[in-house]
Amino acid sequence: MARILICDPSEDIRLLLAEMVGRLGHEPLEWRGGHDVPEADAIVLEPADRASYALARSAARRVPIVCASIHAPSRERNGLVPSAYLVKPFSLSELAAALAAALGGAASFG
């Protein structure tokens, strides 16, 4: 089981992603902004949100990133070099594949 940090400005989306991550057998962690960032094995984030994007930029070297956005990838968002990029809405199996790519056999990051 991996610890997956969920960063999205919408509380409804965070709750939905937490449910999906939990169904996949991982521990979901929510981040609502601020300086207290829980340690995680991967981050699922909305790159269009400035706070999530800033967090990802600072954590990208230590923690794999999965972008989950209503927007298609762009040059600005591609600067994150995510392990996977999902366009909302996406299925549970697509999230599972994205997290598998992000976690890719690494025991832990953070």
Q: Domain 3-103 has what CATH class? A: alpha beta
> Is the pLDDT confidence value at 103 over 70?
yes
Domain ranges of the chain: 3-103
Mean pLDDT within 78-97: 89
- Band of residue 106 on the pLDDT scale cut at 50, 70, 90: very low
> Is the pLDDT confidence value at 77 over 60?
no
Q: What is the DSSP string of 55-101?
A: HHHHHTTTS-EEEEESSPP-HHHHTT--SEEEESS--HHHHHHHHHH
pTM of the model: 0.85
pLDDT in tens, 42-72: 999 998 888 888 887 777 678 999 999 998 8
- If you ran DSSP here, which 8-state letter would residue 48 be given? T
